[in-house]
Amino acid sequence: MGTLAIAGLGPGDEALVTPEVSAALAAATDIVGYAAYVARVRPRDGLTLHPSDNRVELQRASEALQLASEGRQVVVVSSGDPGVFAMASAVFEALELQPQWAKLDIRVLPGVTAMLAAAARAGAPLGHDFCAINLSDNLKPWPLIEKRLRLAAEADFAIAIYNPRSSSRPEAFGRALDILNRAGCGERIVIFARAVSAPDERIETVRLCESRPEMADMRTLVIVGNSATRRVGRWVYAPRHAR
Ligand code: SAH
């Protein structure tokens, strides 16, 4: 019988791929995913790679389900965790469209998501309540993103920002910084964590009022601290108590 695993490859470093995901990759006959992530899987005899473009998530999910229904051992790969702004939701969306696939053996294999890898580098900025917001407006309207930023600031969450910048939306992150500045977050500590766990990793920590849009790119995860987030030596952490 075919199987479908939806696996997270972690933020980049091999050491952060879980043993469970490594075992699924070793047993796979087919790897499906965005080309940059498929390229992280070592080719071998008996393994077919199916790289695809970034924007075709539903099509890619259907292809994976189809292969599994033909008896293949399929692994859909995402970076980080597959359930965080990634392929797991797309697979379940495709499943809703084709109920005959519901009988397949499907498993979601977690991975180390970017915000956890980034937080660990900086210290413990997610040690108190936090939220995660994807700044891409490909799949949701911009006013909803603005509303979530405003309310997250008001609720004093630490905020992990995924997809802060792309060449197609260069202005989005600048607008997000404006919203947070206007919401009174200017003194908050912000961590720019670029290419975490890759050889070109760079971690930068500034105040929100000093943050500039060009400090982030598509390989950056931004963490905005809460109002109590502070430094101790070279570390940044959120105290465990809130007033
Ligand atoms: N499923 C992924 C997120 C996909 S969205 C996960 O769980 O991590 C892609 C965004 O994730 C990027 O724009 C960036 O904001 C963040 N990201 C992914 N890998 C990263 C890394 N190694 N360092 C910093 N940010 C990363």
Evaluate if residue 243 carries a pLDDT over 80: no
* pLDDT of res. 64: 97
Among 79, 112, 215, the mutation site with the greatest number of ligand 1 atoms within 8 A of its Cβ is: 79
Tell me how far apart the alpha carbons of residues 59 and 53 are, in angstroms, rounded to a whole number: 10
High-pLDDT (> 90) share of the chain, %: 90
Tell whether 192 and 130 lie within a shared domain: yes
Evaluate if residue 123 carries a pLDDT over 90: yes
Tell whether 84 and 120 lie within a shared domain: no
Distance from the CA of 221 to the center of ligand 1, in angstroms? Answer: 6
Per-residue pLDDT tens digits for 191-203: 999 999 999 999 9
CB 11 within 8 A of CB 79: yes
Tell whether 49 and 163 lie within a shared domain: no
Tell whether 106 and 126 lie within a shared domain: no
CATH code for the domain in which residue 200 is found = 3.30.950.10
Q: What is the mean pLDDT of residues 9-22?
A: 98
* Band (138; pLDDT cuts 50, 70, 90): confident
Tell whether 100 and 138 lie within a shared domain: no
Q: Write the burial class of residue 42 (CB in 10 Å: 0-12 exposed, 13-18 middle, 19+ buried).
A: exposed
Q: Write the burial class of residue 54 (CB in 10 Å: 0-12 exposed, 13-18 middle, 19+ buried).
A: exposed
Question: Model-level pTM?
Answer: 0.96
Protein residue whose Cα sits closest to atom 9 of ligand 1: 163
CATH code for the domain in which residue 84 is found = 3.40.1010.10
Protein residue whose Cα sits closest to atom 18 of ligand 1: 114
Question: What domain range is 75 assigned to?
Answer: 3-112
* Domain endpoint, select from 93, 112, 131: 112
Ligand 1 in contact with 116 (CB < 6 A)? no
The answer to the question of residue 243 being in a domain is: no
Evaluate if residue 168 carries a pLDDT over 80: no
To which residue do tokens 């977050």 refer?
Answer: 185
What DSSP state is assigned to residue 71? T
Q: What is the mean pLDDT of residues 106-111?
A: 98
Please report which helix (H) or strand (E) contains residue 116, including its range: helix 114-122
The answer to the question of residue 197 being in a domain is: yes
Q: How many domains, the chain?
A: 2
Ligand 1 in contact with 85 (CB < 6 A)? yes
Tell whether 36 and 95 lie within a shared domain: yes
* pLDDT of res. 170: 82
Tell whether 75 and 143 lie within a shared domain: no
Tell whether 145 and 90 lie within a shared domain: no
Tell me how far apart the alpha carbons of residues 142 and 147 are, in angstroms, rounded to a whole number: 9
Tell whether 69 and 180 lie within a shared domain: no
